[in-house]
Chains A and B, each alone.
Chain A
């Protein structure tokens, strides 16, 4: 399994390189001058000139890419063009907030989605099923940021139970949870909807399989049939969907991050795009690509845990 992991990681390297090159080029094709985007309308022409020189934007593209790539290889992400602070600590600081939200959102999704999926499948075409399917359809159709705004409006503005802005104090877990509740809910509820649907369809397939009927026929209790026999076998597609979604979530939580003014990779990224902060955006994308590769690897490994027939060589 170790050899497999290493081999998979090595395969990811060319992908990473392609992603980095792509981002590097796309940033530079975008119209607009980072000097203006960063220094603002009031900056004197001399300031803009100085900026371009300081950041080597007047040098040939290849030279710019080599110096960026060289820095990356030596683990030096350099300074953000926008605020001149070192990039790595900024990302390091944003990362826990992103992970909090991703983990909490996925946890809510799994915690509610799997049982709801099982229930709707088990009591197929009953009122429970209709209600569950209606809710999950509603959850899927509603964009997470819109749900976020609704939650802010009721729970923060009207009832004043939760804060509107920020992600809480990193060193204070309660403050972190307090600030996490609404954003996690808005991410988690749409996750719930998705996982409910996947669980339901995967469960329906299994529930009529012969081995389930055999289990019932030999007198196994219904509870045991459901959880021991059916659910276990239905898990493989669920795991792969959750895995893909954790990856997507890291990216799609951007909108939620903005609505709640939460620090996080998403917010850093949007800021970097809007100010044409090349150095910052390139670093974030490198890290994103890295995370996606790791998540995919972990998902692959998780198959082995839920399905003993899968072996890695």
Chain B
């Protein structure tokens, strides 16, 4: 055989290389799996937490919700604590005093990767772990949980230290955060690796995770609600919104996260594309530090409220994304104040604002400097609008734009007098009320304690109707005192191809803050 010289070798290499590139040009989609793979471009830089109890963010939860099931679930397409239905639990009943809850479990459910049948032991394990301060960052929500006992393989009894209504208790048992049911066997076998290896009973199984690149799920053919709709789900982490949009338009993504701006929607919408705009709404409210001069004067806080025109903010962000709110709990949340008394809506009235300032002995207004705001457009832009509006009545704000995490640090250490804080929480009133308005809370930026009585009574109340009334009263007190001025809410925006079937008619709300992919399983 003739020896191959250097020149021949190089020539050969060139031909092979050229040919392969050429071949690809004419068949550009050869690298993408055909068929029923769903590719979801997420805006998160990475998936950070694969242990449901370790504080997953919205992207993490969207992945985890497809892997895990809870004892109960929301109706597909909505999040409403009043309409929760069974998932791993088939039925449940509570004692009269609402302190003992007994759950009948579904039979024949299998954990992923051969970790065996789901039984009452797994519920006991998961809920005990949820109570553990070291394992679960949401342990506070599980504070009222007492003894958890397995009556038999498929019956669990939960003893509560204080009574809880279904609306208060069941959200903690949803397929969300620490309500995701974990496998006892997997925990014993995997040890520390459990934190990186999610094993659940949900429609999709964890297959592969490559940091900052992609996470792959595959179909769980044994899913108890039937065969899931996609063979594979690939989450691709694409933090840059322009290249994410190009990838979506070029057909490399079926679903993508979008910026919460009208501009982004207008860029993408068109034939074959569905824009989903859904809740739970991210509630934006302007906290005013009541211990700081001159904000300690109610008239000054009222002046600020009257000087802000919420319509301008919503008009700027866009109607498909934002909405004006008049209470710190939007009217469509369970327990939201509806209707808000006209007087407490503080409709835009700069003349009244000026009058109030004069009454407070500040006829020429005052200066607040510095007021910190995050560099993120979601916060910075509305705050700049507010800055402008306040300037018109003589209130000058020295805005200091800082990195997002640095802004949080300023807020938490109490050095920011005006905080436009957003909260995307479970849409029942108590979540936001207790986090931001209960005395002593770490995020009670306004140093408000005027609704403590109502909130504490609501916690212990066994009658849901009374509970709702107490929440409403608390909101009235917050508005009267203007501990925080509710401005607007933002929806989450996701674009999807219209031929992607996700198994819901209309998406109103998603528990995870991302597009839910777990509902298109069909019984075979």
Contacts of B21 in A (CB 8 A): 177-178, 181
Contacts of A267 in B (CB 8 A): 212
Contacts of B442 in A (CB 8 A): 45
Please report which residues of chain B, range 79-138, place their CB below 8 angstroms from some CB of chain A when the two chains form the complex. Answer: 133-134, 137-138
- In the bound complex, CA of A164 to CA of B442 (Å): 44
B250 touches A51 (CB 8 A): no
Contacts of B1 in A (CB 8 A): none
Q: Does B523 contact A (CB under 8 A)?
A: no
Contacts of A271 in B (CB 8 A): 45-46, 212, 239
When C-beta atoms are compared, the residue in chain A nearest to B26 turns out to be A161
CB distance from A66 to the nearest CB of B (A): 24
B404 touches A37 (CB 8 A): yes
B45 touches A165 (CB 8 A): no
Q: Does A174 contact B (CB under 8 A)?
A: yes
- In the bound complex, CA of A26 to CA of B113 (Å): 44
Chain B: number of interface residues, binned into ranges = 35 or more
Q: Residue-by-residue, is B401-428 near A (CB-CB < 8 Å gives 1, otherwise 0)?
A: 0111110110010000000001111000
When C-beta atoms are compared, the residue in chain A nearest to B141 turns out to be A44
User: Of A197-205, A206-214, A241-249, A257-265, which stretch is located at the interface?
Assistant: A257-265
Q: A164-B246, A263-B212 are in contact. Are A36 and B409 (CB under 8 A)?
A: yes
User: Of B47-55, B258-266, B334-342, B491-499, which stretch is located at the interface?
Assistant: B47-55
Q: Residue-by-residue, is B473-517 near A (CB-CB < 8 Å gives 1, otherwise 0)?
A: 000000000000000000000000000000000000000010000
B443 touches A42 (CB 8 A): no
- In the bound complex, CA of A31 to CA of B423 (Å): 23
B28 touches A161 (CB 8 A): yes
**B45 contact from A162, A164, A259, A275, Cβ within 8 A:** A275
Q: Residue-by-residue, is A32-63 near B (CB-CB < 8 Å gives 1, otherwise 0)?
A: 11101111111111110011000000000000
Chain B residues with CB under 8 Å of chain A are 17, 20-21, 24-25, 28, 31, 41, 45-50, 54-55, 57-58, 133-134, 137-140, 195-196, 209-213, 236, 238-240, 242-243, 246-247, 249-252, 402-406, 408-409, 412, 422-425, 435, 442-443, 513
Chain A residues with CB under 8 Å of chain B are 30-34, 36-47, 50-51, 80, 82-85, 90, 93, 149, 152-153, 156-157, 160-166, 168-169, 174-175, 177-179, 181, 258-261, 263, 267-268, 271, 274-276
11 examples of A-B residue contacts, CB within 8 angstroms: A31-B403, A32-B408, A41-B422, A44-B435, A84-B49, A84-B196, A157-B246, A164-B252, A174-B20, A259-B243, A261-B236
Q: Give 20 new A-B contacts, CB below 8 A, not counting A83-B46, A84-B195, A178-B24.
A: A32-B408, A32-B409, A38-B48, A39-B55, A40-B57, A44-B137, A46-B133, A46-B139, A47-B138, A51-B55, A84-B49, A84-B196, A85-B196, A85-B211, A166-B213, A168-B31, A177-B21, A178-B31, A263-B213, A276-B405
